[in-house]
Chains A and B, each alone.
Chain A
Amino acid sequence: MNNHISRRDYLRMMGLSGLSVGAAAVFGESVPLQYVGESGFQSSVLATNKIQPDRFPAVLANGQVIQPQRPLPILTETDVLVVGGGPAGVAAAIAARRAGANVTIVERYGHFGGLWTGGLVLLILGHIAKGPKQVCQGIGEEMMRRLEKMDRAIINRKPGQNPTVDAEAVKYLMVEMIEEAGVNVFLHCWGVDAIMQGDAVRGAVFESKSGRQAILAKVVVDATGDGDIFAAAGAAFEHRSHNIGLVSRVGNLDRVDPTKAPDADKPTRMGSATPIAGVNWVNLTGPEVDGLDLATLTRMEMNHRKFIWNKMQKTRSVPGYENVYLVETAPQLGVRITRILNGLNTVTLDSITQATRFADVVGVGGASSAKHGEWQIPYGALVPQKIDNVLAAGRCISCDIRMADLVRLIPNCFVIGQAAGVAGAVAARDRCAPRNADVAEIQKILRQQEVYLG
C-alpha cells in the first residue's frame, strides 16, 4: 500500500478533510482516507453570534433561586427506558430488547459498565454458590463467555473461581452487545427526575449537553444504583451509609524485584492481577459515609486520591519496587450502597440460611465464596410499594442490611438487571403496571434467556 503523500496533497487534504484525517495520514496508519463530509474550518462553524435558544435560566429573586416552569423537549418515546448503563442497566436493556420491547438506555458517563469499568471493580465476585455452582447465568454468563474469546479480556475463569476482567474489553463488549440487541442509546446523559402522572411514572428527565430533555416510557428501569429515579418518583426507600472507596491500577509489577526489598518494608495492599501483564487493580474500602452527600463525595475523591498517590510514592521508595507506577485511579468513585428500595418483598439473610423459595423468583444470587448457599431474588424486591411503572435494578433493590453486601456484587446485578428488563418488557407489552405483570410469563422468558431460577 502506498502511504506516501506529497506535501501538496497533504495540504489539500488538510483543507478538505480537517485535522483528524490529516493526523491519520501523518502517523502512517493504513486507514483508507475517505471523505468524511464538510468539516473544514469554514464548514465547522455551525452558527455565529448565536444566543442559546429555549433558555429558562434560574432566577435569583428575594434571595431565592427559582427555576421557572418550562416545557421540556421530548427526546424519544420508548417501551422500556433503562436509566443507568452499569452491569444491571446493560443486562436490563439487552434482556428487554430480546424480550421484544423497544428499549432506550441512558448513561451519565461516556461508556457502559458503571462501577465494573468506570469504577475499575474488575473482579466478578458473587456468581457462585455452594457446590461450587455458578448461579449467574443468562447475560452475565454470556458476557463472560464472550470476554473469554477476546484477547486479554478475562482471567481466572475457572469453576469456583472469581474471574477478573479488563475494563476496556468490557466497555467494548458492552457496546457490541447493546448494538447487536438494537437498543437505543444516549450516553453523557444524566437522569435527574421522574415524569409523573399521579402515582405512575411516565418517563424520566435527563440533563446533557443538549439541555434538559424528557424520554417517555411505558416502564422505567431504575438502574442508577442510587435509586435516583424511584426516589424522585416518590417511592419509599431506606437511606444508608456505606464505605466509599476509589479503585486504582498499578503497573510494572512484572518489573519488581522483591528479593531486593527487606521483608519488613515489602509493600502490602498491592492489589490483584488483571488480564494485563504486570498490572494489578487495587481496591480501597474507605470509610462508611453517606454517598448521596455532595460534600462527602468530594471529600472522598480528594482524600482517596491523596492516599493512593502517597502510597505509590512509598511503594516506589522500596528497593526493587522503583519501576512500579500508578496507571490510573478510577474515573468513578466506589459508592457501594446509598438508597435501598422499600419493595413489595425483601431479600433477607434468611433467604440463604433457610433456602427460602419464592413463587415469584426472577433470579438467583450467589456469594463471594462457594461457602454459602444460593439465595433467590423475588420479583417483589424490584417493585416499589406504591409507585407504579418503575422497577429497581441492581444494588438498590429491596434487601435487608445484611444482604446489601451480596446484592450489590456485579454478577448479582446482572441477574437482577436481566429480571427487571424482562419484567419491564412484559409489563409494557401487556400494558399493565409492573406490579400486575404476569410473573409466570416473566419466568418463562427468563428461562428462555438461560437465566438460572433455582
Chain B
Amino acid sequence: MTSPILTKQRASMRTRVRPHLRLWVRVACLIAAILCLWPVHARLLPLVGAISPFVAVASLIAVRAFHAVLVLGLIVTLVVLFRHRFFCRWMCPTGLCMDGASNLGRRLKRKPWQGVSTGRWLLALTLGGALIGCPLFLWLDPLALFSGLFTAAAFPHDLAAWFSAFIFAALLIACILSPNLWCGGLCPSGALQDILAHLSRSVRSFRIKNTCHADTGHPVARRTLIGVVLGLGGATIVRGVGGARPRPLRPPGAIDEPTFTSLCTRCGNCLRACPYGIIERDTSGPWTSLLTPTLTFENDYCRQDCTRCTEVCPNGAIARMPLDAKPNAKIGLPRVDMRICLLGEDRECSACRRWCPYEAIRYIFCEENYTLVPVIDPARCNGCGACQAACPTDPLKAIQVLPYD
C-alpha cells in the first residue's frame, strides 16, 4: 500500500509534467500529420483523415459497411469513451492550431467564447443524415480541414482547392477574436467526444451506483434527438437534389452518388494523390456536390494500372478496389461530336483508337457521308478518358467522356 502523501506528491508531479508532455505530444502529432500529408506518400496520406472519430463513426453509420480504413478512427472512438476528449487533448493538429490562436486572443484580452455548443447540433444533424446515407457536415471534421490545407498548397492557382484553407483561416481568426470558439463551440468531433464521454459516464455510474442518470428529459438528449430528426430531414432534401442529375465523372471506386457527395470530407487527398492530375473539385454541379472530386480528361486520363485515389480516401467514399476490377469501374461514356472530329473532315487521325487501353473504339466507314465515324463499344469502355486526352482538336475535344444518362 502506498501512503496517501506519496500519491498526492505523484499527482502534483503529474500535473506539473503533463502540460509540457501534452504540448510536446501535440506538437509531435502536428509534425507527424504534416509529414503524412506533405510529401505525398500514398500509404500515409489517408491516415490523418482516418484517425478522426467523427469521420469513422459517421461513415460507418452512413455506408453501413466496414472499410478497413475506418479501424483507426474506431479505435480512437473507443479510447475517448473512457478518456474524455483524449483525441482533442493529445492528438488533434487542428486543435493545437486553434488553441494557439485562442491563446493569442487571450493575450489580446479577448473574452473567451461561452455559449451553446453549435458542434452538438452539427453532430446531431450529421449523424441523423448518416442514418439515410448523408452525413451532412462531415466536411467540418477538423482533420479533413487540416488535410485540405495541403490541397491548397498543392494547387495554389485553383481557387476551389483553397476552400479548406479559407475555412481554416477564418476559424483561426474567429478563435483569436473569441478564444476557444472552435474546440469548445463548433467542432463536431469535439461534440462527439463529449456525448460519448457523457454516455459512458452515465452507463458506468448506472452500473456502479445503480442509479439512473440517463434521463430522457435531459436537455442534451432532447436536443440531440431533435438534431437527429432535423438531420434526417436535411439529408432527404440533399438526396433529392443529388438524385435528379446523372452521376458526374467520379473517380473509379466512388460509392453511389447521393451518399458520395456528403460522405466525401473534401479533404482533397485524392486530388493530391492522383499522379496524372485528372481529379479536380466540382464547381459546376449542384450545391450538394460542391467541391467533391470529379474527373477531367483534358490533358490526361485514368490509367489501367493505377488505383491511387482509392487508397488515399480516409473514409471509403472512394472505396478501395483491386486493379483487376478497374475495367468494370465505369466512369462515364465517350460521345463523339462529328462536327469537330477530324475524321468528319477527312483529316488523318487515329488518336482515340490508338490510345484506348480497352480497344473499345472502332472506326466505321459511313457510306452515306463517305467518312469514318468513331464508334464506342460501351461494354468494353470504362470511360477512362484516354480518347479525350489524346484527341487533337482544339479548343473543344471532339470526343468527350460524359456521364451515363
Q: What residues of chain A have their CB less than 8 Å away from a CB belonging to chain B?
A: 123, 125, 243, 245, 268-269, 272, 282-288, 307, 311, 349, 368-369, 371-372, 402-403, 405-406
Contacts and interface: CB of A to CB of B under 8 A. Distances in A.
B347 interface: yes
Nearest to B351: A368
Given A369-B392, A405-B354, A284 B346 contact: yes
Given A285-B372, A307-B370, A369-B392, A402 B354 contact: yes
Given A269-B346, A283-B346, A369-B392, A243 B365 contact: yes
Given A288-B363, A368-B392, A405-B354, A283 B347 contact: yes
Interface in B363-400: 363, 365, 370-372, 390, 392
A252 B279 CA distance: 49
Contacts of A402: 353-355
Q: Which 7 A-B pairs have the closest CB atoms?
A: A287-B365, A405-B350, A402-B354, A369-B392, A283-B346, A285-B372, A269-B346
B392 A371 contact: yes
A371 B344 CA distance: 21
Contacts of A283: 346-348
A402 B365 CA distance: 19
B75 interface: no
Nearest to A121: B348
A20 B372 CA distance: 48
28 contacts: A243-B363, A243-B365, A243-B372, A268-B344, A268-B345, A269-B345, A272-B347, A283-B346, A283-B347, A283-B348, A284-B370, A285-B343, A285-B346, A285-B348, A285-B365, A285-B371, A286-B365, A288-B363, A307-B370, A349-B354, A368-B349, A368-B392, A371-B390, A372-B390, A402-B354, A403-B354, A405-B350, A406-B354
A405 B363 CA distance: 13
Given A285-B348, A307-B370, A372-B390, 11 more contacts: A243-B363, A268-B344, A269-B346, A283-B346, A285-B343, A285-B365, A349-B355, A368-B351, A371-B392, A402-B354, A403-B354
A288 B370 CA distance: 12
Contacts of A282: 346
A91 to B, nearest CB: 20
Q: Bin the interface of chain B by size.
A: 10 to 19
A350 B351 CA distance: 15
Interface in B337-362: 343-351, 353-355
Nearest to B299: A371
Contacts of B350: 405
A371 B351 CA distance: 11
Contacts of B344: 268
Interface of B: 343-351, 353-355, 363, 365, 370-372, 390, 392
Nearest to A403: B354
B352 to A, nearest CB: 11
B370 A123 contact: no
A299 to B, nearest CB: 13
A403 B365 CA distance: 21
Contacts of B365: 243, 285-288
A283 B371 CA distance: 11
A406 B353 CA distance: 12
A243 B346 CA distance: 11
A241 to B, nearest CB: 11
B371 to A, nearest CB: 6
Contacts of A125: 348
A125 B347 CA distance: 11
Contacts of A286: 365
B344 to A, nearest CB: 8
A272 B354 CA distance: 24
A349 B390 CA distance: 13
Contacts of A311: 370
A272 B350 CA distance: 18
Contacts of A272: 347
Contacts of A268: 344-345
B369 to A, nearest CB: 9
Most chain A C-beta atoms within 10 Å of own C-beta, residue among B344, B348, B349, B353: B348
A347 to B, nearest CB: 13
A453 B51 CA distance: 52
Nearest to A285: B372
A368 B348 CA distance: 9
A311 B354 CA distance: 30
A245 to B, nearest CB: 8
B336 to A, nearest CB: 15
Nearest to A286: B365
Contacts of A123: 348
Nearest to A402: B354
Contacts of B349: 368
A114 to B, nearest CB: 16
Contacts of B343: 285
